[in-house]
Structures are given as C-alpha cells and as structure tokens.
C-alpha cells in the first residue's frame, strides 16, 4: 500500500493535469489524507474535461437568415442551419418574441445536419424589441446548441389618405382641402401637394383625425391636388389619387 501511495504522488507531481481520466477515477479511493485534497482536485478537473468534451459534441449554434425589418401582420420568412459533429439528425426550435415577451414557439422535424429549414412568422405589434431565437437539438442525445438571435424592426404603414377637395375654385380665393387616414399603431402627419410645386406638411396628429388646410391659386388652370401620410416611425403611405381642382377667374 505504501509503494502505491508513493507512485501516485510521483505521478501527480510530475504531471498533475496529464493524468488520464480513467486513472483519476481509480484514485478516488482512500489513498491517505496527505494527498486526498490534491487528488480530489485532479479528479474534478478530469470530470470537467469530460464535460467539456461532451459539450464540444453538441450541435453548432444555428445561423439565422432573414429580414431585419418587416411590416406588421405580414408573414416573414426565416431560415436556420446548424452542423452536428456527431452527424446525428437535429431539429430546430424557433421562439418568437414580441416587445420582449415570448409570443410563440415551434419545433421542426428532425433533419440531417447542415440542412437548411425555413419557417414563417408575423409580428402583431411595432417596434424594435421583436426578435426570433433558434437552437438546434440532437435526436440521439438530446444535446442542444446555444441560442442564436435575430432582431427584427417591425413597422406599420399608414393607409392612403382620403382627400376632400372642391372640384372648382376662383383665383385668389381660399379653399379648404382636407385629408384623413388611419394607422393602427402610430400617429401620422400629412403632406399636401397643391399641383403648382408647393407643398405643406403638418405636424403629427392622432390616427383617424381629419386635417384641413387652406390654399389659393393666382393663375387660372386645372390643378392636381394629392396627399400622402407619414407615421411616427417615418414610414410613408402611397400618394392619394389626384383631385382635380379647376381654378377660374371669378368676378
């Protein structure tokens, strides 16, 4: 027994971290109080090495491909792909987060490693705190990769404004032009185009609030008036259909 302890001490002093883990396990018995603490530390190091080797066999962190910006309530495509050192089949777990809260999740079927999978998701609120995260899971061991994240800015677009305008007007006389639109998520402003190169842009207003502007023309002709809306996220609607205003000289 004494010779065994001496041999163990020599091996430990010469190469404490090169001892094979199988040898570490054999040293976990009662070898004496003088070296028990050092041996215990070495055994724990070996166990840590075993855990590290096991973690290296887990699937790789998935690569996520997809848009970084999208319109609210529209389904957006996302793709993920990961490798697996073991060559075993893997599945993908997608989690969809909306305004910092988990809103939905889904798991794919098992596919060979390095096989790209595609799924779709629609966010139902605007902002920049929306993201998808994905991890891969091995079929045999259940080992999971680390999460991958992709943030997506979700925006809304105002509806094309409805424009209210007279069909005719007199030169140098003011007429009222009004516009109204809806954006379910943001305030809006209006930009009017009077048909003679002039424009006017309002400040932000509540969605659905009707806005009125006053305009006059000095030259008799037909003017095409149109309006578009911009929300507080900076997104523009399309221009409205042009309203024809025939301006004449009036007595």
Place of tokens 């929300």: 231
Q: Which CATH class is domain 162-248?
A: mainly beta
Q: What is the pLDDT, as a whole number, of residue 55? A: 56
Both structure tokens of 93: 């777990």
196 alpha carbon, distance to own chain's centre: 43
Q: What is the pLDDT, as a whole number, of residue 36? A: 42
Sequence spans of domains, the chain: 11-54, 63-155, 162-248
**Sign of dihedral through CA atoms 157, 158, 161, 162?**
positive
Identify the CATH homologous superfamily for domain 63-155.
Immunoglobulins (2.60.40.10)
**Selection from 225, 243, 232 nearest residue 207 by Cα:** 232
Contact call for residues 215 and 174 (beta carbons, < 8 A): yes
Query: Coil, strand, or helix at residue 10?
Result: helix
Question: How far apart (Å, rounded) are the C-alpha atoms in residues 246 and 180?
Answer: 22
Q: What is the pLDDT, as a whole number, of residue 128? A: 87
Q: Which ranges of the chain have pLDDT less than 70?
A: 1-56
**Selection from 70, 63, 44 nearest residue 126 by Cα:** 70
Both structure tokens of 230: 């911009």
Question: How far apart (Å, rounded) are the C-alpha atoms in residues 133 and 78?
Answer: 11
**Selection from 235, 218, 236, 219 nearest residue 227 by Cα:** 236
Q: What is the pLDDT of residues 73-121, one digit of tens each?
A: 999 999 999 999 999 999 999 999 999 899 999 999 999 999 999 999 9
Q: What is the pLDDT, as a whole number, of residue 155? A: 96
């Amino acid at each position: 027994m004494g010779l065994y302890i001496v041999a163990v001490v020599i091996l430990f002093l010469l190469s404490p971290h090169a001892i094979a883990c199988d040898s570490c396990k054999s040293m976990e018995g009662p070898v004496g109080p003088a070296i028990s603490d050092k041996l215990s530390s070495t055994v724990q190091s070996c166990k840590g090495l075993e855990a590290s080797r096991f973690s290296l066999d887990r699937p790789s962190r998935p690569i996520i491909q997809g848009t970084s910006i999208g319109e609210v309530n529209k389904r957006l495509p996302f793709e993920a792909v990961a490798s697996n050192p073991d060559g075993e089949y893997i599945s993908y777990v997608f989690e969809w987060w909306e305004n910092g809260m988990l809103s939905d999740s889904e798991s794919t079927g098992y596919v060979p490693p390095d096989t790209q999978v595609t799924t779709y998701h629609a966010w139902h609120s605007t902002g920049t705190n929306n993201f998808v995260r994905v991890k891969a899971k091995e079929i045999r061991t259940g080992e999971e990769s680390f999460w991958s994240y992709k943030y997506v800015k979700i925006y809304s677009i105002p509806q094309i404004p409805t424009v209210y305008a007279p069909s005719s007007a007199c030169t140098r006389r003011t007429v009222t032009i009004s516009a109204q639109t809806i954006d379910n998520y943001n305030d809006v402003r209006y930009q009017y185009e009077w048909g003679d190169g002039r424009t006017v842009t309002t400040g932000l207003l509540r969605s659905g609030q009707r806005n009125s502007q006053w305009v006059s023309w000095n030259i008799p002709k037909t003017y095409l008036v149109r309006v578009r809306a911009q929300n507080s996220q900076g997104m523009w609607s399309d221009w409205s259909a042009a309203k024809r205003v025939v301006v004449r000289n009036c007595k």
